[in-house]
Amino acid sequence: MTSSLLPPTGGAPLQAGPVHCVLDARAQLGEGPLWSPRRQALWWVDILSQRLFSWRPADGEALCWQFDEEVSAVAERRDGTGLMLALRRGMARFDPDAPGSQPVYLHRPEGEPASNRFNDGRCDHHGRFWAGSMDFDARQPTGHLYCYDEAGPCERLLLGLRVTNGPAWSLDGRRMYVNDTVGRHVLACEVDPASGPRVPLRPWLTFPAGDGHPDGMTVDADGRLWIAHWGGGCITAHDPDTGQELARIAVPASQVTHCTFGGENLRTLYITTARVGLDDVALRGEPLAGGLFAVPMNVAGLPAHAFGAFA
């Protein structure tokens, strides 16, 4: 099944090919997809099973690293020395190619809270690692958004969300989007290249009741924002200025968690999903829940930003 809608500037229709499950991973909470040009593989995680994965589309090679705590976001390091991870307590460094390697914490911005864990995260245009925290049970507004700079302090930007997802940035890096998932809001703020984000973030787009909750998101090469619908079973594309929905891709799993572009010419949209909280009846209706999905696209994505200062 394909979908087709005009992009905001007209021209060729925005098209998505068939959605297919490339790995029936049965992840409890699949998240954090990140395309690695060097490995020609996709990094992603199962947060609740405390596992980091690498999947290579050329031959289907699937690798897995088991940790002692939740891992929720991945970024490659600019100097080639492994990965940056968001673990339960904060930001860590990890070398997946070193036998017996374990993550090493670099910063724990919240200390040792009993109820919070880190969630989604990404690097920005300047090589800074952004990650948000959340109440483990998604009930209390104890989540914050942090920015970790290898050359400076870890700054706290956003306070008081139950579940923080994102962030993502406009093509020029001058606007940042963050998802208040439980509140169903996509928030936005302008970013000054010299001084950083201008807070507070404002509601930019709100999901209607019954359409799920905004989860992970990515930006394509034309600036459109692609957002996963937790509980909505789809990915939607939005105009970066107006928020207008431009395309919708149905996914055969209700709990869609994140998406990113990868593969040859960055023209495959990879989608992670979850099965946590689904009972036996629900799982019979969506047996591929927790799988990793791929969709061929006629639009390209953007290379992921790496962690660390530019040389």
The catalytic residues are 215
Residue 149 CA: distances (Å) to CA of 47, 96, 155, 206, 303:
24, 22, 8, 30, 20
DSSP alpha helix (H) spans, the chain:
280-285
SS3 271: strand
The closest of 232, 217, 191 to 301, measured between CA atoms, is 217
Contact, 86 vs 71, CB < 8 A?
yes
SS3 284: helix
Contact, 5 vs 246, CB < 8 A?
yes
| CA distance linking residue 259 with residue 261, whole number of Å | 7
Terminal Cα-to-Cα distance of the chain (whole angstroms):
45
